[in-house]
Chain A
Amino acid sequence: MIWQLDLMILTLVVICALVAINIKDLLGASVVFGIYSFLMCLLWAEMGAVDVAFTEATVGAGVSTIFFIAAILRTTRRSRD
């Protein structure tokens, strides 16, 4: 575990989480959420939990982003609050 790398990834994770909540465009929010998942994947891999990182990369960054986008294209793209 390299704490400098940890700190960098964690900072980016927090930034991505805040952006994903605050952004008005839901398509953009789901893309940022994909980035968040990928950063979490990097964090798992960096801590040595390679299986969890693999799951996070496939499910979190891959398929769930597609599901979000598919759901958004069926509803509305703008957040209303």
Chain B
Amino acid sequence: MRDIHEHTAGEDLIIKTSVRLMVPFIQVFGLYVIVHGHYSPGGGFQGGVILGASFILLALAFGMKTSQEYMTVGVNAVLNNLGPAIFIGVGVLCTLFGGLFLDYSALDKLIPLGPVEWRSFGIFLIEIGVGVAVMSIMVLLYWNLSSGGSMDEGL
């Protein structure tokens, strides 16, 4: 993260310091929400939104350029497509191993964990896909809306 004192007047020290402290915890919480969705409320969608919100917070406090140092536009474009691709890829993989589309128990032939465990694990895989997609697309929407499409400065 850039030095606090580099920026010009009008950007508040308190906001920057608190955001700098909060962002890692928000990201850890977002990961927790995705991973712990099997046992508690949450899941890919909510966790992805929380992860995206941490990048948006970074962009709000430090400027869009700083947030693009941590997630570049190219990486964001890859993640946009990777998320739905993970989801649909898992579904297609199920059909390749002889099951129905999104019937995770068919993946037992790939790695023998047992069909019931595979249904649990398949849900985890698609939650990761949803989380990646939602995170990157929330950040993309924010960049585009607040900069009017140029994705370099705004808000």
Interface residues of A (CB under 8 A from B): 50-51, 53-55, 58-59, 62-63, 66-67, 69-71, 73-74
**When A and B form their complex, what is the total count of cross-chain residue pairs whose Cβ atoms lie within 8 Å?**
48
Are B49 and A62 in contact (CB-based, < 8 A)?
A: yes
Are A63 and B52 in contact (CB-based, < 8 A)?
A: yes
Are B53 and A74 in contact (CB-based, < 8 A)?
A: no
Query: Which single member of A54, A62, A73, A74 contacts B42 (CB below 8 Å)?
Result: A54
Q: Of all chain A residues, which has the CB nearest B146?
A: A70
Give CA–CA (A70, B139) in the complex, Å: 12
- When distances are taken between beta carbons in the complex, the residues of chain B under 8 Å from A67 are 141-142, 145
* Closest CB in chain B relative to A44 CB, distance in Å: 11
Assess whether B113 is interfacial by the CB under 8 Å rule. no
Query: Which single member of A50, A66, A71 contacts B56 (CB below 8 Å)?
Result: A66
Are B49 and A58 in contact (CB-based, < 8 A)?
A: yes
Assess whether B148 is interfacial by the CB under 8 Å rule. yes
Assess whether B41 is interfacial by the CB under 8 Å rule. yes
Size of B's binding interface in residues, CB under 8 A: 20
Query: Which single member of B41, B43, B53, B141 contacts A62 (CB below 8 Å)?
Result: B53
Give CA–CA (A54, B155) in the complex, Å: 27
Are B142 and A70 in contact (CB-based, < 8 A)?
A: yes
Q: Of all chain B residues, which has the CB nearest A68?
A: B145
Give CA–CA (A58, B155) in the complex, Å: 21
**Apart from A55-B49, A59-B49, A67-B141, what are 6 other A-B pairs with CB-CB below 8 Å?**
A51-B41, A54-B46, A63-B53, A66-B142, A73-B146, A74-B146
- When distances are taken between beta carbons in the complex, the residues of chain A under 8 Å from B142 are 63, 66-67, 70
Are A70 and B52 in contact (CB-based, < 8 A)?
A: no
Are B145 and A71 in contact (CB-based, < 8 A)?
A: yes
Give CA–CA (A78, B43) in the complex, Å: 38
Give 8 nearest A-B pairs by CB, closest first.
A70-B146, A50-B41, A58-B49, A70-B145, A51-B41, A54-B46, A54-B41, A58-B46
